[in-house]
Amino acid sequence: MRNVAASSWLCILLMGHVTAAAQPNVLFLVVDDMRPKLNSYGETNMVTPNIDNLAINSVLFQRAYCQQAVCSPSRTSFLTGRRPDTTRIFDLHTYFRRLAGNFTTLPQHFKNNGFLTVNVGKIFHPGQAAGGDDDAKYSWSYPAIHGSTAKFRRDKECKGADGLDDNVVCPVNLEQVAEKTLPDIQSTETAIEFLQNRSIDQQPFFLGLGYLKPHAPFKFPEEFLKLYPLSRINPVTNPDYPSWLPHVAYSPWQELRSYHDIKIMNLSWPFERVPDTYQLKLRQAYSGAISYIDHQIGRVLQALDYYGFTNNTIVTFLGDHGYELGEHNHWTKKSNFDLATRIPMIVHVPGITSKPSTPRGQTFPFYNALTSTKTINNVRWSCSSTMCIDEHAKRGSYRTTDALVEAVDLYATVSELAGVDVPPTCPPNSLNVSFCTEGTSLVPLIRRVMASRNTEKVSWKSAAFSQFPRPANRIQLNSDLPSLADIRIMGYTMKTATHRYTEWVAYDPVTFTHNMSHVYARELYDHRSDPDENVNLADDISLTGVLTQLAQQLRDGWRKALPKTVV
């Protein structure tokens, strides 16, 4: 059943450009392990002209958070519209339909509403975590499409000091890798072919397009590394394991240690740092991998424009979680720090976040950072044939909001924008409820951001929530990511307008219950004075009042943090 109110609202905003019957398409972009290290998020040394151009035509969420900082739990959460405590997915090999409930996923909901739903690349976490078929039986119109080269992910194709190996720093010459291509390039080509195949008057589509990079290994065409001379890479300002950090909060980054170029350093476990010179190389390669994905996204958006879909396609862009690049001696994700939980999130709605009348080919011109850059104020910018991306930035064209939003909000948001039923809020025990959400539609927020000339502070959620499990109150090999049966402690964390507050409490994986009276450790960071989370204030007795209030707010949870007024 269509949500009549929502679709007529969309039609009013697109007045004169769509008929009442037209249903928008959805391009649902997901990137793996990409923290908001993007020019449009204020990182001026990054070369990300295509994502920036998407942002210029969208609302950009400055404070967006995932619900758990690792792949499958985060993806399962935003694809079911529920939080990890409800999906019960905290690890990488458990399938929510088997463990929790027969939930209607976001693509499944669209499929039920007459959309062609297509999976290209990584949307669900593949393998057992998605029933062995990317949940295709339920979520997708036909089997998921993955590039044939995805299986060469860890092959010894990466140049290191001692030859080719499975290094984490892995710029490659495409002529020298298997099939002379990479899986994300193949996904781009499949998505473009899909758009070419569709005609604009066909059944509406929901295209889930998931890129594998910048996830390690940082394997990408070597020319992208040239965008980032090593001399321009800034070292981390807080590279040490902080002495005040409770051991339960530490993730010993086994994932990074598993690569050949890191293994041969013989780093003592768990605290010895990656040498500073290599830290810079890792940061350089991560930036290169981001520009590589920016290039892929630019090609797909250009095709969307070229084949005439831009004016009737909602585009969402989402990182599954954040990333740590040596800060607090942390690498990758699997922690509750802001760097691990904060994500890039951008929502483009034709007619609402951009003019519906933009001529074909002009909303998403392709910026090729590899062939056309120029240097302005000592920074390299990318140009299309007609303009350079920095000119937009100077005009202050980004529509941003500081409102606290969560990845779990996307389900209701995309549903409302596309005019399909918006799921109701889940009851406290929703395992047997197939269609409901623990997120909130962002549509009223998007409308308010677009209506205000300046980026005024809009009152929205009072907190964003995340969590991360641990197997023990000490650092051990599986501290990064315990299997469900090994979980003994859950770290619940909350980001408010001013603070991050975290409690690590006892957890029982048999009954799926936590014990908020059994607290192992607490963390408190004041983001007004300490955005990098370098000072844990949890033991500061002068802050007892603040701590008591935040502890209560954490226990009250997401239901009490919902926006008070939804216009």
**Segment 15 to 74, residues that bind ligand NAG, using CB under 6 A:** 17-18
Report in angstroms how near the CB of residue 288 gets to ligand NAG at its nearest. Answer: 25
In angstroms and rounded to an integer, the radius of gyration of the C-alpha atoms of the chain is 22
Give the interface size with ligand NAG as a residue count (CB under 6 A).
24
* Residue 197 touches ligand NAG, criterion: CB under 6 A: yes
Residue 39 and residue 46 in contact, taking contact as beta carbons nearer than 8 Å: yes
Task: Candidates 234, 517, 544, 565: give the one binding ligand NAG (CB under 6 A).
Answer: 517
**Separation of alpha carbons 252 and 257, rounded Å:** 9
Nearer to ligand NAG, 498 or 515 (CB): 515
Identify whether 247 is a catalytic site residue: no
**Separation of alpha carbons 183 and 374, rounded Å:** 30
Q: What are the C-alpha distances in Å from 433 to residues 95, 106, 426, 436?
A: 17, 15, 8, 7
Task: Candidates 238, 362, 452, 515: give the one binding ligand NAG (CB under 6 A).
Answer: 515
Nearer to ligand NAG, 40 or 363 (CB): 363
CA angle 313, 351, 211 (to 5 degrees): 35
Identify whether 125 is a catalytic site residue: yes
Spatial CB neighbours of 355, under 8 Å, sequence gap ≥ 6: none
For 259-328, the DSSP string reads SHHHHTT-PPTTTPPPPHHHHHHHHHHHHHHHHHHHHHHHHHHHHHHHTT-GGGEEEEEEESS--EESGG
* Residue 102 touches ligand NAG, criterion: CB under 6 A: yes
| CA-wise closest residue to 462 among 426, 501, 517, 423 | 501
Centre a 10 Å sphere on the Cβ of residue 538 and count the other Cβ atoms it contains. 17
Binding piece for ligand NAG, criterion CB under 6 A, among 206-214, 258-266, 383-391, 537-545: 258-266
* Residue 477 touches ligand NAG, criterion: CB under 6 A: no
Report in angstroms how near the CB of residue 474 gets to ligand NAG at its nearest. Answer: 18
Spatial CB neighbours of 223, under 8 Å, sequence gap ≥ 6: 370
Task: Candidates 277, 371, 377, 432: give the one binding ligand NAG (CB under 6 A).
Answer: 432
**Segment 173 to 192, residues that bind ligand NAG, using CB under 6 A:** 190
Q: Which amino acid is at 370?
A: L
* Residue 7 touches ligand NAG, criterion: CB under 6 A: no
Nearer to ligand NAG, 229 or 424 (CB): 424
Binding piece for ligand NAG, criterion CB under 6 A, among 50-58, 149-157, 410-418, 428-436: 428-436
* Residue 312 touches ligand NAG, criterion: CB under 6 A: yes
Report in angstroms how near the CB of residue 89 gets to ligand NAG at its nearest. Answer: 17
Residue 71 and residue 321 in contact, taking contact as beta carbons nearer than 8 Å: yes
x-marked contacts with ligand NAG along 528-557 as a string, rule CB under 6 A: ------------------------------
Task: Candidates 433, 497, 543, 546: give the one binding ligand NAG (CB under 6 A).
Answer: 433
Q: 199 by DSSP, 3-state: which?
A: coil
Residue 96 and residue 103 in contact, taking contact as beta carbons nearer than 8 Å: yes
* Residue 266 touches ligand NAG, criterion: CB under 6 A: yes
| CA-wise closest residue to 427 among 173, 76, 82 | 82
DSSP letter for 205, please. E
Alpha-carbon dihedral of residues 272, 273, 277, 282, nearest 10 degrees? Answer: 130
Task: Candidates 234, 377, 378, 429: give the one binding ligand NAG (CB under 6 A).
Answer: 429
Instruction: Catalog residues that contact ligand NAG under the rule CB under 6 A.
Output: 14, 17-18, 102, 104, 190, 193-194, 197, 264-266, 308, 311-312, 356, 360, 429, 432-434, 515, 517-518
Which residues carry out catalysis? 71, 125
